[in-house]
């Protein structure tokens, strides 16, 4: 098994991109990544594209073929990967496995989602497919409601407060101000969050990540070759994935994301490190409570203390373990299929010292945590400069 | 500006995206699930007694050991967690606000369901609930009505 | 063969709106109207209730009292003026929900407010003929009241159902006799695509309600050689709180005899459920040996009359909570909530 590195990255601005279509978004990200790496299109052997619900959002399937076509990469094999909101992270894992196994040498991994062609209600319905559509969406439970049920339990069991959850949103929006690709560039306050109106109690509008268009892409190569073509290679030192029940009702409990815990533990084992060795992490904050549960699952703080840990500033840029310096899904935006890949890009920029005002000091080991649905899929990667 | 024909096609296309012809309205799917949605019918492993709702094809713990037979779930349980939904998914816009809860039935099976017809202050963790037969959705005047299970708080 | 009721159930939705609240909207004297029609408040369902959901709750309760397995039911009829579908039976939805199995005769009935009692006659006949062992007849409605119309004050939601059987040890009330009085009378009707019914005003009194109820009552008493004083209870169709009192007086029944079965003042007129709900309330308290006269009325027009005798078995087979107590679990709404729930706003 070979070591694999990221050698180039590219992403579009995240946000409501009325002027750009689905094809234009992925083409832009893909070409930028290839250019960034210094490689040429003919060097790419295979493509993996993460996309959750293009069928429902833009009536388009067969995304693998679409991406290869748009980037002028035919006839290389091109495969769509779907794992709900973890589509991007799992696509990254598939690309990693293809290079690590020796089957392919240069793999382009992309993620894309265009969510604004349809109404907000239809988008909510499409996203509902990340859960158990027949028993959750059917009774009127879409994603905010599912995470709200988890939040409510976390609050009851551990005393997590709405203000603590709000502090996640405040931090992430604050980080996004310094990210030119982010959807939002306005800092918010705890009061803003507390007054933003309930979507599904206790989650309020500003506890929820937005509806976003965007695409992101990275190029993967064996580390040995990567170091020869440019000096920015970032090595993937662990790649893990775990699954849990599709329906929230079948989970062991509502306050932990078991799949994330398992994937996290396996990642630390694979890389031979501990949580305290991680310099920063991009985690899946589709809702503020999700970030709190993520940092607990990944071992950055004990179970139940994620709220307090965040409130005390430990996950700020200047804190003990900066979380979501990119702005996270909350501040940067959440074009579902692209998110997992965008997380890897932030990690790449941080480890190369190119994160500008978001730069983490002495960044050595980065982590990404990408979750699908209400926790049914979790995919974790660890990285360090090659 | 789109030509008249393109406008017509755009309307049909967005009609599909707006939910007509989508899975939610699939009549065969509804019909197939009457025993599940009308009577809370799931299945149970004859040997181990583990119950599943909805019914499963494969027992996740036992695999092929022990036979899975259909059985109606108990109709009472208690609330484990709840949320009040103010912004609902497509088809539920006019019902908000409504309560959703994860409940645990007498046989330990958990179900995600709406809590209806109950005073707000009684809808809380630990509250005892029982099943009622209600409309789940009736969004199309000319379409089929979807009936199913909801729960209400009992004293 | 003795044939009679072996189980019964009634269901009234939780929400209520007071007559005075409705009158306030139309700038009328609510107290005067309420006193005039003898109705205090009426019941309405949540938006997610309809005749099918109400019928299922009724069926479940009846099964609980009867203590039989739904698979033993051989016929199921649902009578209503507000079936959820114009074509697609409510009875089959109920059958599926209670799991009667496929060996079942079923149909939906319509005869204005006497659709439910017509169902009782049908299952009674089928049981008596030996075709089935048990039959379930339900009468339920989520009645439509045109905003601003007199009937808006009384059109309510709810219903009841009866399981009829032939095992002596199970019967709680023997059905001794049943007859009908039927004519063609244009007092109240609703065309297929009309949202609200139309009625002929004062014509709905003498030539309609009273002619049929009084004649049916007289005829059945004549046939069985009984008189008003033979009965412990009388239940008459109750479109408001006044008509049944007047009918009782004319026939020679006392106010005490009709009190237990008079539910309309508290829940409104439940149309196909009205007489049924009154009879269910009587069964909540009746004792062995009590004779009951029940006379329904359906516009169009007809009256079904029944004479029943309560048996010893009723001691152990009654509804868990008597209806008069069950309806105390209620929640008041104002007119704005009422029109949302009753979907009177066209775009809802």
Residues B82 and B131 in one domain: yes
**pLDDT tens, residue by residue, A203-225:** 999 999 999 999 999 999 999 99
Q: For the residues C57-86, what does the mean pLDDT come to?
A: 96
Task: Nearest chain B residue to A251 by CA: give it.
Answer: B110
Residues B46 and B95 in one domain: no
**pLDDT tens, residue by residue, C106-165:** 999 999 999 999 999 999 999 999 999 999 999 999 987 888 888 899 999 999 999 999
Partners of B19 on chain A (C-beta within 8 Å) are: 122, 125
Phi then psi for A24, rounded to 5 degrees?
A: -65, -35
CA dist., res. B117 & res. C222, Å (int):
47
Phi then psi for A80, rounded to 5 degrees?
A: -85, 140
Give the three-class secondary structure for A157: helix
Burial of C123 (0-12, 13-18, 19+ CB in 10 A): buried
Residues 6+ apart with CB under 8 A from B141: none
Residues B79 and B61 in one domain: no
Inform me whether the pLDDT recorded for A17 exceeds 50.
Answer: yes
Residues 6+ apart with CB under 8 A from B16: A59, B22
Residues B80 and B110 in one domain: yes
Inform me whether the pLDDT recorded for B141 exceeds 80.
Answer: no
Contact C49 B134 (CB under 8 A): yes
Residues B30 and B45 in one domain: no
Contact B134 C348 (CB under 8 A): no
pLDDT of residue C86: 85
pLDDT of residue B7: 57
Q: For the residues C326-339, what does the mean pLDDT come to?
A: 93
Percent of chain A clearing pLDDT 70 (strictly above):
100
pLDDT of residue B18: 47
Burial of C327 (0-12, 13-18, 19+ CB in 10 A): buried
CA dist., res. A337 & res. A83, Å (int):
9
Asked if residue B80 lies in contact with residue B147, where contact means CB atoms within 8 angstroms, the answer is no
Which residue, B73, B90, B116, sits at the end of a domain?
A: B73
Q: Does A197 touch chain B (CB under 8 A)?
A: yes
Q: Does C53 touch chain B (CB under 8 A)?
A: yes
Partners of B33 on chain A (C-beta within 8 Å) are: 134
C105: left (phi over 0), alpha (psi -120 to 50) or beta: beta
Percent of chain B clearing pLDDT 70 (strictly above):
84
Phi then psi for A330, rounded to 5 degrees?
A: -65, -50
pLDDT of residue B25: 62
Inform me whether the pLDDT recorded for A379 exceeds 60.
Answer: yes
- Mean pLDDT over the full length of chain A: 96
Q: For the residues A98-111, what does the mean pLDDT come to?
A: 97
Inform me whether the pLDDT recorded for C275 exceeds 70.
Answer: yes
pLDDT of residue B66: 82
Query: Per mean pLDDT, which range of A291-300, C185-194, C275-284, C301-310 is the poorest?
Result: C185-194
Query: Per mean pLDDT, which range of A191-205, B138-152, C116-130 is the poorest?
Result: B138-152
Percentage helix, strand, coil for chain B under 3-state DSSP, each rounded to 5: 25, 35, 40
Instruction: Please name the residue ranges forming H helices in A101-161.
Output: 120-127, 143-158
Inform me whether the pLDDT recorded for B8 exceeds 60.
Answer: no
Please give the biggest Cα pair distance in chain A. 56
- Mean pLDDT over the full length of chain C: 94
Residues B24 and B88 in one domain: yes
Residues B99 and B133 in one domain: yes
In the structure encoding, which two tokens stand for residue C62, read together?
Answer: 């009846």
Residues B83 and B105 in one domain: yes
- Please say if C81 is a catalytic residue: yes
Query: Per mean pLDDT, which range of A119-128, A139-148, B31-40, B102-111 is the poorest?
Result: A119-128
Residues B21 and B32 in one domain: yes
**pLDDT tens, residue by residue, C204-231:** 888 899 999 999 999 999 999 999 999 9
Contact C96 B38 (CB under 8 A): yes
pLDDT of residue B3: 60
Task: Nearest chain B residue to C61 by CA: give it.
Answer: B132
pLDDT of residue B21: 43
Compute, in degrees rounded to 10, the torsion defined by CA atoms C26, C31, C35, C37: 10
Mutate to test the interface with A, among B35, B53, B83, B151 (most CBs of A within 10 A): B83
Residues 6+ apart with CB under 8 A from C243: C205, C209, C210, C236, C237
Residues B55 and B90 in one domain: no
- Tally of domains within chain B: 2
Nearest CA-CA partner of B91 in B27, B135, B55: B135
pLDDT of residue C192: 82
Residues B83 and B66 in one domain: no
pTM: 0.89
DSSP assignments along A295-361, one per residue: HHHTTSS-TT-HHHHHHTTTTSTTSSS-B-TT-HHHHH---HHHHHHHHHHHHHHHHTT--GGGPPT
Q: How far is B37 from chain C (nearest CA, A)?
A: 9
pLDDT of residue B15: 52
Quickly state the pLDDT bin for B1 (edges 50, 70, 90).
Answer: very low
Structural domain including B14 reads 4-38+74-153
Which residue, B73, B98, B118, sits at the end of a domain?
A: B73
Residues B113 and B148 in one domain: yes
Contact B90 A59 (CB under 8 A): no
Nearest CA-CA partner of A166 in A144, A191, A187: A191
Contact A135 B136 (CB under 8 A): no
pLDDT of residue C348: 45
Contact C48 B94 (CB under 8 A): no
**pLDDT tens, residue by residue, B57-89:** 999 999 888 899 999 999 999 999 999 999 988
pLDDT of residue A200: 97
Going by their DSSP bridges, the two strands B76-85 and B98-105 should be labelled as antiparallel
**pLDDT tens, residue by residue, C17-36:** 999 999 999 999 999 999 99
Q: Residues 262..321 of A with a Cβ closer than 8 Å to B: which?
A: none
Quickly state the pLDDT bin for B10 (edges 50, 70, 90).
Answer: low
Which residue, B49, B73, B97, sits at the end of a domain?
A: B73
Q: What sign for the dihedral angle of Cα C81, C87, C93, C96?
A: positive
Inform me whether the pLDDT recorded for A96 exceeds 90.
Answer: yes
Nearest CA-CA partner of C122 in C111, C136, C110, C133: C136
ipTM of the complex: 0.88
Q: Which helix (H) or strand (E) holds C70?
A: none
- In chain B, the DSSP E strands lie at 41-45, 51-52, 68-72, 76-85, 98-105, 110-115, 128-137, 146-153
Give the three-class secondary structure for C280: helix
CA angle, residues A262, A169, A251, in degrees to nearest 5: 30
Cis amide bond preceding C127, omega within 30: no
């Amino acid at each position: 098994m070979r070591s694999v590195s990221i050698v180039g990255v590219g992403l579009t601005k995240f946000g409501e991109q009325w002027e750009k279509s689905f094809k234009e978004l992925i083409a832009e990200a893909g070409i930028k990544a290839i250019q960034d790496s210094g490689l040429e299109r003919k060097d790419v052997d295979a493509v993996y594209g993460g996309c959750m619900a293009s069928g429902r959002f833009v009536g388009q399937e067969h995304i693998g073929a679409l991406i290869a076509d748009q980037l002028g990469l035919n006839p290389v094999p091109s495969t769509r990967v779907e794992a709900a909101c973890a589509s991007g992270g799992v696509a990254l894992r598939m690309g990693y496995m293809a290079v690590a196994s020796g089957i392919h040498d240069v793999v382009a991994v992309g993620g894309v989602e265009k969510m604004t062609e349809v109404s907000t209600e239809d988008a909510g319905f499409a996203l509902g497919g990340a859960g158990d559509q027949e028993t959750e969406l059917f009774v009127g439970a879409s994603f905010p409601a599912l995470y709200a049920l988890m939040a409510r339990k976390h609050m009851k069991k551990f005393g997590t407060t709405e203000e603590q959850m709000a502090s996640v949103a405040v931090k992430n929006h604050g980080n996004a101000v310094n990210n030119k690709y982010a959807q939002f560039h306005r800092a918010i306050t705890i009061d803003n969050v507390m007054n933003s109106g309930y979507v599904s109690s206790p989650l309020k509008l500003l506890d929820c990540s937005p509806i976003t268009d965007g695409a992101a892409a990275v190029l993967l190569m064996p580390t040995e070759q990567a170091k020869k073509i440019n000096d920015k290679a970032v090595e993937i030192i662990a790649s893990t994935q775990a699954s849990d029940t599709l329906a929230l009702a079948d989970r062991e409990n509502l306050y932990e994301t078991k799949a994330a815990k398992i994937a996290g533990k396996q990642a630390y084992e694979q890389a031979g490190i501990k949580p305290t060795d991680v310099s920063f992490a991009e985690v899946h904050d589709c809702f503020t409570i999700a970030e709190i549960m993520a940092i607990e699952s990944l071992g950055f703080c004990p179970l139940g203390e994620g709220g307090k840990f965040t409130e005390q500033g430990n996950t700020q840029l200047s804190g003990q373990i900066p979380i979501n310096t990119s702005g996270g899904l909350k501040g940067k935006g959440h074009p579902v299929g692209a998110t997992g890949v965008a997380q890897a890009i932030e990690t790449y920029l941080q480890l190369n010292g190119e994160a500008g005002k978001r730069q983490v000091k002495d960044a050595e080991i980065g982590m990404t945590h990408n979750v699908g649905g209400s926790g049914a899929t979790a995919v974790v990667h660890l990285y360090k400069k090659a | 500006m789109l030509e008249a024909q393109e406008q017509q096609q755009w309307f049909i296309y967005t009609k599909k995206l707006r939910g007509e012809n989508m899975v939610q309205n699939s009549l065969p799917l509804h019909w197939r699930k009457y025993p599940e949605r009308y009577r809370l019918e799931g299945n149970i492993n004859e040997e181990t007694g583990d119950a599943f709702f909805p019914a499963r094809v494969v027992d996740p713990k036992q695999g092929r050991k022990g036979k899975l037979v259909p059985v109606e779930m108990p109709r009472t349980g208690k609330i484990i967690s709840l949320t009040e939904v103010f912004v609902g998914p497509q088809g539920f816009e006019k019902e908000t606000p409504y309560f959703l809860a994860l409940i645990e039935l007498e046989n330990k099976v958990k179900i995600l369901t709406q809590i209806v017809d109950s005073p707000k202050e009684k809808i809380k963790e630990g509250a005892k609930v029982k099943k009622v037969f209600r409309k789940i959705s009736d969004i199309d005047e000319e379409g089929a009505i979807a009936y199913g299970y909801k729960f209400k708080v009992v004293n | 063969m003795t044939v009679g009721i072996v189980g019964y159930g009634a269901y009234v939705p939780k929400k209520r709106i007071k007559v005075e609240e409705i009158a306030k909207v139309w700038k009328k004297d609510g107290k005067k109207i309420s006193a005039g029609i003898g109705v205090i408040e009426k019941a309405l369902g949540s938006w997610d209730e309809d005749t099918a959901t109400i019928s299922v709750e009724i069926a479940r309760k009846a099964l609980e009292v009867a203590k039989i397995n739904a698979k033993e039911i051989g016929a199921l009829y649902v009578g209503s003026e507000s079936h959820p579908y114009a074509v697609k039976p409510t009875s089959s939805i109920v059958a599926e929900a209670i799991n009667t199995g496929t060996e079942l005769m079923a149909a939906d009935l319509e005869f204005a407010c006497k659709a439910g009692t017509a169902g009782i006659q049908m299952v009674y006949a089928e049981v008596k003929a030996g075709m089935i062992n048990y039959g379930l007849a339900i009468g339920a409605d989520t009645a439509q009241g045109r905003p601003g119309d007199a009937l808006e004050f009384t059109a309510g939601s709810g219903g009841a159902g009866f399981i009829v059987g032939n095992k002596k040890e199970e019967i709680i009330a023997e059905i001794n006799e049943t007859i009908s009085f039927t004519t063609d009378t244009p007092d109240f009707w609703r065309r297929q695509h009309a949202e609200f019914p139309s009625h002929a005003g004062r014509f709905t009194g003498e030539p309609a309600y009273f002619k049929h109820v009084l004649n049916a009552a007289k005829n059945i008493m004549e046939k069985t050689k009984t008189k008003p004083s033979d009965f412990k209870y009388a239940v008459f169709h109750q479109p408001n709180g006044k008509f049944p009192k007047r009918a009782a007086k004319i026939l020679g029944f006392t106010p005490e005899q009709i009190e237990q079965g008079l539910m309309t003042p508290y829940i409104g007129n439940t149309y196909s459920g009205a007489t049924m709900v009154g009879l269910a309330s009587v069964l909540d308290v009746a004792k062995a040996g009590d004779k009951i006269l029940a006379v329904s009325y359906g516009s169009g027009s007809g009256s079904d009359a029944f004479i029943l005798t309560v048996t010893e078995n009723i001691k152990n087979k009654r509804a868990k909570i008597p209806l008069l107590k069950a309806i105390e679990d209620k929640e008041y709404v104002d007119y704005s909530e009422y029109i949302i729930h009753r979907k009177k706003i066209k775009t809802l």
